[in-house]
Structure 1
Amino acid sequence: MSMKKLNWILNIIAIVIFTLFLSYANNSFDDYTLRIITLIPIYAIMAVSLNLINGITGIFSLGHAGFVLLGAYTSALLTLEPMQKEMSYIIMPIQPWLLNLHSGFLVATIAGGVIAAVFAFLIGWPTLKLSGDYLAIASLGFAEIARVAANNMISVTNGPLGLKGLPNYTNVYWAWGWLLVTLIAIISLVKSSYGRALIAIREDSIAAESMGINVFKHELLAFVFGAFFAGISGALYAHWLTTIDPRITTFGPLLTFYVLIMVVLGGLGSITGSVIGAGVFALMFEYLRALEEPFDIFGMHVPGIPGMRMLVISAIFIFLMIFWQKGIMGRSELTWERILKFLKIEVKKPSLAEVYLGKEGDE
């Protein structure tokens, strides 16, 4: 059996087994554990979409939180009932054209991704002509502009009050299902001719352009593609939190740095590494919450210190940057071939003659 066919079979088996696990978890695990299991794929979508921009294409963007915010607000305004909108907008009435807009969660989620992609195109067209630190500052500025606009467009976003009481649509199936769609889409893009061009741009944009690659066009494509899935993650995140707070702590630039930590932790340029990094970060972020509560250690009582978990995560991140700069996966991917090799299971590879004659799949 060829490795290609074996990959398909193993992928299908893994998806079926993981779906059965999610079904078991949904029926047997407590609510807190389920929320963490649901948060991991949401973070993973954010990390994979940012890795497409930063790690695979080499665009130093720090505006990811702005696209997440756009996706969150767009989906929330579509899933809220008109009566609930009227009651929520206390400072100023909602815009009449927004009042009766309503849709199901699937349409609202896709709409969040589309709006984020549209803004990415509008932002990327002028800013991608910059490079390096200038592009990072411009994209960070966009994220802050999006947050400030959400805080002040009271008749559209409800201003500083945010949006409360969103339907709790995001469950393990929605979150992991969208992660699967994200991985299929981005892996397919990376393995295509466009993906090879993006990697060439990352390695040397001048050499890529001299080989006939339209650098600006490909960078804009990656930027829009990544922003679309950032908007998707924003929709899922908003309906996981069931509230949207435009303050800096929830959807502000700090979120971009959280996602950047996930990407670097997993390996800049590795898609599967981003998923692993997101999982590690989500688990640390939640379970280190205990450090902010009073606890005893070696007979000493330690009072709760707010923000201690981020101090520990930051210290771990600094340690990684000094001693393990490539992250968990580096630029490598976790493939079935590597797993089987680790398990010392040999798979017969087709000879060059079989590949040339197209007989590698006949076994």
Structure 2
Amino acid sequence: MENIQHRFGAYIKIHWKTIVFLGVVLITIGLLDQFVDSYIRRLLNLCAIYTIISLGMNLVNGFTGQFSLGQAGFMAVGAYTVAIFTVPIEARATIFYLAPMTPLLANIQLPFIVALLLGGLVSAGFAFLIGGPCLRLRGDYLAIATLGFSEIIRIVFTNTQTITNGALGIKSIPTITSLWWTYGIAIIIIVLMILLINSSYGRAFKSIREDEIAAEAMGVGLFKTKMTSFMIGAFFTGIGGGLFAALLGTVDPKQFYFTLTYNFLLIIVLGGLGSISGTVIASFVVTLGQEWLRFLDEPMAFGLDLPIFRPGLRMVVFSALLMVVVLFYRKGLMGTNELTWDFIGKKIKVIKSKFNRKKSASQGGDNK
């Protein structure tokens, strides 16, 4: 009986800590939304969007152990879906001036949240079509195949003039600037990820990551489980792509080159493959870090005739800093750990014990 009460008391304690933490987060979002300028607000919105997309990629690459590089393509699907269905009908004639928009879509306009969910579902549908041939491959072959399909999606969007306006892209997308949209959806997706990973599906994903043969021997359907992970990851990425389109107010195929995928790959590797909290932390570190080092792209002569800093040095310095981090944290900042209250408590105890040992050693030296 005492054991049950102890567990229940611990649950209530953690439960209230989480509620307080969420309350602080919501208050912080509200204050930032009211008092920061448009530049900082856009950066913070981008951090939340990158968090959503990186979580979708980490579900496939980190938790399921499948090396997929198709995020840019799924992001483009979500972005174009939101763009096509949210642009005002009266503005479409001025946007599609080379070739009129197809009559099947020309008179359809949806609310933003409906178009956003539709973008996620369409991305999941593309993942279903792509996953059939791709998920039978492994390792580098899977990465190359998904990267190729990502480029195929971008090229198709470039050539479907009456649907996506081709290389001209789609402008006049109703924009969202409030942090509540991006961070509200990011919090929902983080909660869904936590519930998913701690469910039987999450355990099946991890079993495939650890050993496919053993997982299949235990009754896990490999192809079905991989497909489920692939589609859910694409759904999250499509949601992020739709938010990205609404943040910028315009989309075009050049925004979704395959190099964009490497940003998200960098985030999940830096945060830790198989860590939700690590992905969230790394999304902010990478996005804000790249912007903070932007001054390195400006020529600086320091009184000399030749400029010392040239355009492009920002990414060189940023890459060097990341290499230093990876050398000290080979599994990423969090590895496969999560930033739980127990994890924080253990870290605090370790720090306290080290501090007490140093203090006692210094006191012993003084006594001598």
1:241 aligns with 2:248: yes
Q: Distance in 2 between matches of 1:325 and 1:4?
A: 33
1:317 aligns with 2:317: no
Q: Retained in 2: the 8 A contact 1:68–1:235? A: yes
Give how far 1:245 is off.
Answer: 2.1
- Distance verdict in 2 for CA 1:330–1:31, change over 3 Å: same
The aligned residue for residue 264 of structure 1 is 269
Give how far 1:300 is off.
Answer: 8.7
| Residue range with higher mean Cα deviation, 267-276 or 298-307 | 298-307
Q: Retained in 1: the 8 A contact 2:42–2:177? A: no
The aligned residue for residue 146 of structure 2 is 139
Matched position secondary structure for 2:119: helix
Provide, for residues 257-300 of structure 1, a one-character-per-residue CA deviation record: whole Å limited to 9, x for no partner: 00000000101111110011111011012122111123466989
The partner residue of 2:285 within 280, 287, 298 is: 280
Provide, for residues 3-33 of structure 1, a one-character-per-residue CA deviation record: whole Å limited to 9, x for no partner: 3333322222212211111111111111111
The aligned residue for residue 212 of structure 1 is 219
1:294 aligns with 2:299: yes
Q: Distance in 1 between matches of 2:327 and 2:25?
A: 35
The aligned residue for residue 41 of structure 1 is 48
The alignment's TM-score, normalised by the length of structure 1, stands at: 0.90
The aligned residue for residue 78 of structure 1 is 85
1:129 aligns with 2:136: yes
Q: Retained in 1: the 8 A contact 2:41–2:177? A: no
The aligned residue for residue 307 of structure 1 is 312
Alignment map for 1:1-363 (pairs within 5 Å): 2-247=9-254, 250-295=255-300, 302=307, 305-344=310-349
Provide, for residues 239-272 of structure 1, a one-character-per-residue CA deviation record: whole Å limited to 9, x for no partner: 111111211xx21111110000000010111111
Which letter does structure 2 place at the counterpart of 1:328?
A: L
The alignment's TM-score, normalised by the length of structure 2, stands at: 0.89
Give how far 1:77 is off.
Answer: 0.8
Provide, for residues 121-141 of structure 1, a one-character-per-residue CA deviation record: whole Å limited to 9, x for no partner: 111122111111111111000
Q: Distance in 1 between matches of 2:10 and 2:133?
A: 44
Provide, for residues 153-189 of structure 1, a one-character-per-residue CA deviation record: whole Å limited to 9, x for no partner: 1111111111112111252101111111111111111
- Distance verdict in 2 for CA 1:171–1:296, change over 3 Å: farther
Give how far 1:93 is off.
Answer: 1.0
Q: Distance in 2 between matches of 1:77 and 1:91?
A: 16
- Distance verdict in 2 for CA 1:163–1:338, change over 3 Å: same
- Distance verdict in 2 for CA 1:26–1:309, change over 3 Å: same
**Identity level (%):** 43
Q: Distance in 1 between matches of 2:177 and 2:117?
A: 14
Q: Distance in 1 between matches of 2:280 and 2:199?
A: 21
Matched position secondary structure for 2:253: coil
Give how far 1:310 is off.
Answer: 2.2
| Residue range with higher mean Cα deviation, 293-302 or 56-65 | 293-302
Give how far 1:90 is off.
Answer: 1.9
Q: Retained in 2: the 8 A contact 1:105–1:169? A: no
Q: Distance in 2 between matches of 1:170 and 1:205?
A: 44
Residue-pair matches, total: 343
Q: Retained in 2: the 8 A contact 1:63–1:143? A: yes
- Distance verdict in 2 for CA 1:150–1:307, change over 3 Å: farther
Which letter does structure 2 place at the counterpart of 1:280?
A: V
- Distance verdict in 2 for CA 1:184–1:152, change over 3 Å: same
Provide, for residues 68-87 of structure 1, a one-character-per-residue CA deviation record: whole Å limited to 9, x for no partner: 00000001111101111111
Q: Distance in 1 between matches of 2:218 and 2:77?
A: 36
| Residue range with higher mean Cα deviation, 22-31 or 228-237 | 22-31
Give how far 1:318 is off.
Answer: 3.5
Which letter does structure 1 place at the counterpart of 2:337?
A: S
Q: Distance in 2 between matches of 1:296 and 1:173?
A: 43
Q: Distance in 1 between matches of 2:348 and 2:16?
A: 18
Matched position secondary structure for 1:244: coil
Larger radius of gyration between Structure 1 and Structure 2: 2
Which segments of 5 or more consecutive residues in structure 1 lack a partner in the other structure?
346-363
Which letter does structure 2 place at the counterpart of 1:254?
A: T
Provide, for residues 101-135 of structure 1, a one-character-per-residue CA deviation record: whole Å limited to 9, x for no partner: 11111111111100000111111122111111111
Q: Distance in 2 between matches of 1:329 and 1:139?
A: 27
Matched position secondary structure for 1:2: helix
Give how far 1:303 is off.
Answer: 6.1
